[in-house]
């Protein structure tokens, strides 16, 4: 979030952020080994297309939505249930959500 800035200090280069969130040539929803992108909304239809997740062992997911300044951590969740969870999160946010 914040293009690699935290409390006015750069902690990750903006170039790295841009590269890691750019869809790959072969698989548009994959970037930098563990970034699962949502470029056309096909991965998570309940989430904006600019969002991404980090995935780990055991179906642990970290969902990142920079426009809404939102991070959702889900542990031991099946991939198909993540979309349902995101739908509930955005429903709870209501009008506060920037985009959906």
What pLDDT, in 10s, does the model give residues 24-48?
A: 788 777 777 666 777 887 788 888 8
Does 75 have pLDDT greater than 80?
Answer: yes
Domain count of the chain? 1
Question: b/e string for 20-53 if b means 16 or more Cβ within 10 A?
Answer: bbebeeeeebebeeebbbbbeeebbebbbebbbb
Mean pLDDT value across the chain = 82
Which pLDDT score is estimated for 50?
84
What is the mean pLDDT of the segment spanning 42-64?
82
Full domain range(s) for residue 42: 2-96
Burial class of 82 by CB neighbour count within 10 A (0 to 12, 13 to 18, 19+):
buried
Read off the pLDDT band of 99 (50, 70, 90): low
Which pLDDT score is estimated for 10?
96
Sequence length of the chain is 100
Query: Is residue 16 a contact partner of residue 4, using CB atoms and an 8 Å limit?
Result: yes
């Amino acid at each position: 979030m914040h293009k690699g800035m935290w409390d006015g200090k750069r902690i990750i280069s903006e170039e790295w952020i841009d590269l890691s969130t750019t869809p790959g040539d072969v698989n548009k929803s994959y970037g930098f080994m563990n970034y699962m992108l949502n470029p056309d909304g096909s991965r998570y239809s309940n989430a904006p297309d600019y969002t991404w997740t980090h995935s780990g062992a055991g179906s642990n997911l970290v969902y990142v939505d920079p426009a809404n300044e939102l991070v959702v951590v889900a542990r031991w969740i099946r991939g198909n249930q993540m979309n349902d969870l995101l739908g509930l999160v955005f429903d709870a946010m209501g009008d506060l959500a920037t985009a959906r």
